[in-house]
Amino acid sequence: MKRLAPAVCVCVALAAAGEPLVVASKDFNESYILGEIMAQLLESDGFEVERRFGLGGTLICYEALRTGEIDLYAEYTGTLATAILRRPDRSGVDALNEALAQEGLTLLPGFGFNNTYALAVPRTLALARGLETISGLVDHADLRIAVSHEFLEREDGWPGLSSAYGFDRFVDGIEHGLAYQALEEGTIDLTDAYSTDGELVRYDLVVLRDDRGFFPRYLAAPLVRADLPERAKERLRTVAATLDDAAMQALNASVLFDDASFAEAAAGYLEGIGIAGDRSGSELWPQLWRNTLRHLELTVMALVPATVVGIGLGLLVFRVAWLARSVVYATGLLQTIPSIALLAFMIPLFGIGVTPAIVALFLYSLLPIVRNTVTALSTIDPVLQRVSLAMGLTRAQRLRHVFVPLATPSMLAGIRTAAVISIGTATLAAFIGAGGLGDPIVTGLALNDHGLILQGALPAALLAIFTEFALEGLERLLSPRHLRAAGV
């Protein structure tokens, strides 16, 4: 274990460095771009910024902001009203801010676009039919409409829309991913979309104006901690109302279809409004190195205590059969909790970031270590157990000189299994903002970018293989000499 100490020190030092503003994003395209815009905006004003992008969903972001793990991210008014404050009727910025103030949060003026449900039709069709508004659809009953299954069911989807606009017609359901292609091939004429989808640009679609104001408004705006430095808030206000739906669509499309990085898209936009951006983003190798170090930190910080606790627990309970069984079952139960769920359970207890990830990985690592320890200790040759007792060894001496040395190979094998499980599971820690090699995987998933996914997956796999070999070597080094003497 001594050998690991320097690695632990390095990791702790990295984690403790500085107090930058922490900018976060959710794990989808637009949220990354908005996060990058806010980050560059602050950086260009001299703030030091830490990016905690790709957090796994609204609740994780919101919870992290509330607990001060992060300082700001881009949120939507509709989401705040329905999902977080549970007051869909109060989605106005002032009403939201009144509620948010109690949590020490502030919603700054919005970016200017409204990413809500929308109905999209090919531009050529819209021009040919003179279609501009949703109410105009009444006069075009022949249009073939297919909407996503969720939209077909949701009260704020087709059913509500139909009654608000007085439609009385049948529509089909369609897989959202296929709808764009169907539009392009002309098999359908209209589908639902989000109003800032990059696909709208790519497939040359136009959005029909919601002239009766049916769809809730999802205005994007920086959601920040109220105690953010006034200068930072001021800086963020400079981009208020500078991004309309079309501009956001274009930014989304540039990242999705033109291989622009988030940093490039954000910088391009900022330069357009006269602010110096930073296109460099993060370079591959330093980024990879940082991710790998963080990944190791997560694994080591979970594995070392899991080893101590797991072996200690095994030594404590192995003599009492029912207790040993219960402990093995209990640790086994932990293992059956899906990793992403276990990570999510940790958030109310430990917030987001490194700590909850380490705790979750620690719990995951326990089973193989405890089980191997208990099994090895309780299956030691009964004759040796009897002899060690009869010759007058004390309890501690029996453990020290007989039980532990004989159980060592099995305990080491347990640690090895735990290490490999941890390295794999740690990739999911990116969803709760712990970073590591899961970061590029999560981003790659948001962008459907296989190269980016490999940037996380490959090093993680290599790390697992390397660890496997390294610990196997260690195991051979520490295995009882008699096994080597016998050439086993």
- Shortest gap between Cβ of 380 and other proteins (angstroms)? 10
- Shortest gap between Cβ of 396 and other proteins (angstroms)? 10
Of 355 and 408, which CB lies nearer to other proteins in the complex structure? 408
Of 16 and 383, which CB lies nearer to other proteins in the complex structure? 383
- Shortest gap between Cβ of 305 and other proteins (angstroms)? 27
Residues 325, 333 contacting (CB under 8 angstroms): no
- Shortest gap between Cβ of 478 and other proteins (angstroms)? 11
- According to the binding rule CB under 8 A, does residue 95 interact with other proteins? no
Q: Which stretch binds other proteins (CB under 8 A): 241-249, 336-344, 412-420, 477-485?
A: 477-485
- Shortest gap between Cβ of 392 and other proteins (angstroms)? 3
Of 124 and 379, which CB lies nearer to other proteins in the complex structure? 379
Residues 255, 281 contacting (CB under 8 angstroms): no
Of 57 and 405, which CB lies nearer to other proteins in the complex structure? 405
- Shortest gap between Cβ of 299 and other proteins (angstroms)? 30
- Shortest gap between Cβ of 487 and other proteins (angstroms)? 10
> What character string, x for contact with other proteins (CB under 8 A) and - otherwise, covers 338-377?
----------------------------------------
- Shortest gap between Cβ of 301 and other proteins (angstroms)? 32
Q: What is the DSSP letter of 122?
A: E
Query: What is the crossing angle of helices 339-350 and 354-378, to 10°?
Result: 120
- Shortest gap between Cβ of 443 and other proteins (angstroms)? 50
Of 141 and 389, which CB lies nearer to other proteins in the complex structure? 389
Residues 423, 467 contacting (CB under 8 angstroms): yes
Of 269 and 403, which CB lies nearer to other proteins in the complex structure? 403
- Shortest gap between Cβ of 386 and other proteins (angstroms)? 7
How far apart, in Å, are the Cα atoms of 450 and each of 27, 447, 458, 475? 16, 9, 11, 36
Nearest to 248 by CA among 485, 486, 29: 29
Q: What is the DSSP letter of 206?
A: E
Q: Which stretch binds other proteins (CB under 8 A): 109-117, 251-259, 383-391, 426-434?
A: 383-391
Of 187 and 397, which CB lies nearer to other proteins in the complex structure? 397
- Choosing from 384, 462, 465, 478, the residue that interacts with other proteins (CB under 8 A) is 384
Of 386 and 450, which CB lies nearer to other proteins in the complex structure? 386
Residues 255, 262 contacting (CB under 8 angstroms): yes
Of 169 and 319, which CB lies nearer to other proteins in the complex structure? 319
- Under rule CB under 8 A, which residues in 139-168 are in contact with other proteins? none
- Please compute Rg for the chain using Cα positions: 28
178 phi, psi to nearest 5 deg: -90, -15
The 3-state secondary structure of 299-322, one letter per residue: HHHHHHHHHHHHHHHHHHHCCCHH
- Shortest gap between Cβ of 408 and other proteins (angstroms)? 9
> What character string, x for contact with other proteins (CB under 8 A) and - otherwise, covers 386-405?
xxxxxxxxx--x---xx--x
Nearest to 31 by CA among 2, 61, 1, 6: 61
Residues 125, 179 contacting (CB under 8 angstroms): no
> What character string, x for contact with other proteins (CB under 8 A) and - otherwise, covers 405-444?
xx--------------------------------------
> Which residues, in sequence order, are bridge partners of residue 117?
194
Nearest to 207 by CA among 76, 75, 79, 116: 116
Q: Which residues touch 233 (CB under 8 Å, ≥6 apart)?
A: 106, 108, 224
Nearest 5 degrees, angle CA 338-CA 343-CA 345?
95
- Shortest gap between Cβ of 385 and other proteins (angstroms)? 9
Q: Is the four-CA dihedral 244, 249, 252, 253 of positive or negative sign?
A: negative
How many residues touch other proteins under the rule CB under 8 A: the total is: 22
By CB neighbour count within 10 A (0-12 exposed, 13-18 middle, 19+ buried), where does 112 fall? middle
Nearest 5 degrees, angle CA 197-CA 202-CA 207?
50
DSSP strand E in 143-289: where? Answer: 146-148, 172-174, 191-194, 205-207, 220-225
Of 123 and 482, which CB lies nearer to other proteins in the complex structure? 482
How far apart, in Å, are the Cα atoms of 87 and each of 102, 123, 135? 15, 36, 28
49-55 and 172-174 beta bridge pairing? unpaired
Q: Which stretch binds other proteins (CB under 8 A): 321-329, 338-346, 455-463, 474-482?
A: 474-482
Residues near other proteins (CB under 8 A): 381, 383-384, 386-394, 397, 401-402, 405-406, 480-482, 485-486
